[in-house]
Amino acid sequence: MEISALTRSVVKSNHAVISPDGYINSNVPGWTDCTVNVIINEQMGARLCQTLITLNKDGKLKGATKASQIFFYIVKGQCTATVNGEEKALTQGHFVYVPINTSYLFDEPEQGTQILTFHKVYEKLDDYDIPAVLFGDAATVEGPSYLGDPALRLQVLLPADLSFDMAVNIFTYDSGGHLPMVETHIMEHGLMYLQGQGVYMLDHQWYPIKKGDSIWMAPYCQQWFTAMGKEPAVYIYYKNVNRFPT
């Protein structure tokens, strides 16, 4: 028998592990006939927001970005996205970057379609324009080995262009593959596991992690991961980039 007083989720001052067993739904104006789980947010001390949306067949996400840009990624299922009047059919692995002050509509979903979002307040650079809307498909993004280790592959979904102040990458680890060192860095992360399992070290504590789990890592939260099990471990993650340290 499962014991409902136990969870793998933890929320600390510089990191959090959120497993789906503790989700409580939020209502978001304009996002209808869907469940919304706000997984990472400034309420926990983060400077990004990460949500997971599960759409019913008549579900719709209608809105307009303001100060925050939003990256939408189709975790499973399919829908139609209309951004600034441009319409595209999206399926698993497709994504769309919606810059600030831009209207969007996601509709006509298959029942149970899941969309992951990363939101960040945009910091404009004087000499660079705000990025344009960008549609993409992770399946067509190359995944070179990471730091020369063939067990690790990194796909960079957004352009390496100073107009962007956020990166979204997909990191794939073959079973037994691990980060080559404990990372200690100013950038913050939000992530969600798309496949597999392993053990994450966060601030010198070790957590078993699997598909569906999310992690928040504050700046300077020390981090390391090793993949375990019979299939590669895959996570999609956010990172703030390209701006002066203040």
Question: Considering beta carbons, is residue 107 or 183 the nearer one to Mn ion?
Answer: 183
Q: Which residue is nearest to Mn ion (CB)?
A: 183
CA distance 159 to 133: 12
Question: Considering beta carbons, is residue 113 or 155 the nearer one to ligand UGY?
Answer: 155
Instruction: Restricting to residues 135-164, name those near ligand UGY by CB under 6 A.
Output: none
CA distance 87 to 66: 20
Least distance (Å) between residue 19 CB and ligand UGY:
18
CB 138 within 8 A of CB 168: no
Which member of 31, 104, 106, 171 binds ligand UGY (CB under 6 A)?
171
235, exposed or middle or buried, with CB in 10 Å at 0-12, 13-18, 19+? buried
Closest CA to 110 of 77, 61, 80, 75: 77
Q: How many residues bind ligand UGY (CB under 6 A)?
A: 6
**Candidates 88-96, 101-109, 183-191, 197-205; binding stretch for Mn ion (CB under 5 A):** 183-191
Note whether 183 binds ligand UGY by CB under 6 A.
yes
Residue 119: contacted member of Mn ion, ligand UGY, none (CB under 5 to 8 Å, by partner type): none
